[in-house]
Amino acid sequence: MTPKLIDTHCHLNFDQFDLDRSEVLQRAHDVGVVAFVNPSVDLADSRHVVALAQEIPNLYAAIGFHPNDAASFNEAALSELRELAQQPKVVAIGEIGLDYHWNESPPEVQKSVFEQQLTLASELNLPVIIHQRDAAADTMTILQQWANQPHPYLVLHSFSSDLAVAKMALDLGFYLGISGPITFKNPKELPDVVAFAPLSRLLVETDSPFLSPHPFRGKRNEPAQVKLVAEKIAQIKGLSYAETCQQLTENSLAFFHL
């Protein structure tokens, strides 16, 4: 029997999949991917993802504003997110956070939009998917304060920081999302992070259509390739592929209350 996996972060609603979405879903199914979590980047995207979740049986929606789209966030958007969260199959708030690499909105705007959405997640008791790029220090400062109060599950998606940040995140009770870069020829500290973190605190993801694993780097990514990420984790952990998948899938089911 093919071990089951859940791709906990893929943008299947993006137009990169418009021409062959059903084939992409079939290929994922063929390698054992049994469910998908599709995060959103702004309000229009959130509506789109919620609608797609009504069409695709094993696709679940996360809603929210990516930091690159923080400038379009306002009171009306916040209340629409609150309403959208009531729709069936909305399982998380995300992806939200800080991005000082692209810096498409001023850092102060990004922080405010991030904090308002963290508050929304707490209020709704929905798990949170964090995007962070070149902003680890500010992200962790905000999350440390937030984690002081009772909070839902939280994952640092496509984790790419160093071991020190990973330890801090694990101490706060967070999960680490592992994606294609773990398979790269220069994975930096990621293998150390995966070796250090308990398997029970890892989630697997593709971030499709981005971050294709080796040897497909630079090409369009798709959820079937989450298998390559799980294989790499199994190798680092010295476990069989089947037991690795079993634990990763249990983690995802618990995290997203699927």
By the criterion CB under 5 A, which residues form the site for Ni ion? Answer: 207
CB 236 within 8 A of CB 225: no
Cβ proximity to Ni ion: between 94 and 187 the closer is 94
Q: Residue 5: which of 213, 202, 221 has the closest Cα? A: 202
Cβ proximity to Ni ion: between 208 and 249 the closer is 208
Cβ proximity to Ni ion: between 95 and 234 the closer is 95
How far, in Å, CA of 211 to CA of 220, rounded?
Answer: 8
Minimum gap (Å) between residue 246 Cβ and Ni ion: 25
Task: Name residue 62's beta-bridge partners.
Answer: 92
Torsional class of 86: left (φ above 0), alpha (ψ -120 to 50), beta (otherwise): alpha
Kindly state the DSSP code that residue 57 receives in the 8-state scheme. T
Helix (H) or strand (E) holding 250: helix 241-255
Cβ proximity to Ni ion: between 184 and 241 the closer is 184
Cβ proximity to Ni ion: between 158 and 183 the closer is 158
The two beta strands, 59-63 and 33-38, are: parallel
Cβ proximity to Ni ion: between 217 and 237 the closer is 217
Cβ proximity to Ni ion: between 179 and 251 the closer is 179
Torsional class of 238: left (φ above 0), alpha (ψ -120 to 50), beta (otherwise): left
Alpha carbon dihedral 64, 69, 70, 73, in 10-degree steps, equals -70
Cα atoms in the Cβ-side hemisphere of radius 13 Å centred on 34: 12
Give Cα separations from 140 to 4, 16, 161 (angstroms). Answer: 32, 32, 11
Minimum gap (Å) between residue 157 Cβ and Ni ion: 6
